Structure 1
Amino acid sequence: MSSTIHFRIDEETKRLAMQAAERQQMSLTELMRQRAEELAAEERRHQSSEHEGWLEEQIAQAFSRYDAGEGEYISNDEMENRMNALKQRATRGKL
């Protein structure tokens, strides 16, 4: 799905931007689309690195709890039972 962006700039900026686009043998629209896609890719990388940092922190905390003997270890069956109970509570809006 595509979307349209509208924005206002002064005439001089538009003229110079159009000249820059022509030098690159592109229309101003194509150039602006390319720049917007570059910005979106940059934001994806930023968000991904933030998530990776959060995940690394969570893993480090888990290992710290393990090293301190603070972990609770349960069987796979017990984990599934607890998850099913949580899902049921969430379905009923009780979380």
Structure 2
Amino acid sequence: MTTIHFRIDEETKRLAMKAAERHKQSLTELMRQRAEELAAEERAYQNSANDEWLEQQINQAFSRYDEGKGEFVSNDEMTQQIDTLKKLASQGKL
């Protein structure tokens, strides 16, 4: 856990405390809830950005393949290549 400190004017503090009372929560609890909501929003945004990046990469790969610039590698071939790379990595040869 960490602590956040920030400054607000007295009127804002007074009104925020009244709003917290109306919600039957402390101002600290309400601010923690708001911070958690912002964090959840940012997580969703970052996940969305990652999904967009992945979709772009997939589309680019299909475009290269359609243009004859790519090659198909079967699952068996790829598994064999990965196993070879893992073996070389474990031997410190990469």
TM-score range for the pair, normalised by the shorter chain length:
0.7 to 0.9
For residues 93 and 21 of structure 2, what CA distance do their matches in structure 1 show? 57
**CA 51–93 in structure 1, closer or farther in 2 if over 3 Å, else same:** farther
Which sections of structure 1, spanning at least 5 residues, go unmatched? Answer: none
1:54-73 residue pairs with structure 2 within 5 A? 54-73=53-72
Equivalent residue of 2:29, what SS?
Answer: helix
Q: How does 1:26-65 map onto structure 2 within 5 Å?
A: 26-65=25-64
The answer for unaligned runs of 5 or more in structure 2 is none
Structure 1 window deviating more from structure 2 (48-57 vs 66-75): it is 66-75
- 2: distance between equivalents of 1:43 and 1:8? 20
1:22 Cα deviation (Å)?
A: 1.2
CA offsets 1:25-76 (integer angstroms, 9 cap, x no match) = 2111110111011101100111011011101101110110121112212232
After superposing the two structures, state which structure 1 stretch, 58-67 or 68-77, moved more: 68-77
Q: 1:35 to 1:62 in 2, by over 3 A?
A: same
Query: Are the structure 2 counterparts of residues 11 and 61 from structure 1 closer, same or farther at C-alpha, using a change threshold of 3 Å?
Result: closer
Q: Which stretch has the larger CA shift, 83-92 or 30-39?
A: 83-92
Matched residues in 2 for 1:40 and 1:8: separation?
A: 17
TM-score normalized with structure 2 length:
0.80
Q: Structure 1 length normalisation: TM-score?
A: 0.79
Q: How many residues get paired?
A: 92
Amino acid across the alignment from 1:61: Q
- What is the RMSD computed on CA atoms of the aligned residues? 2.0
Structure 1 residue 5, shift from structure 2 partner: 1.8
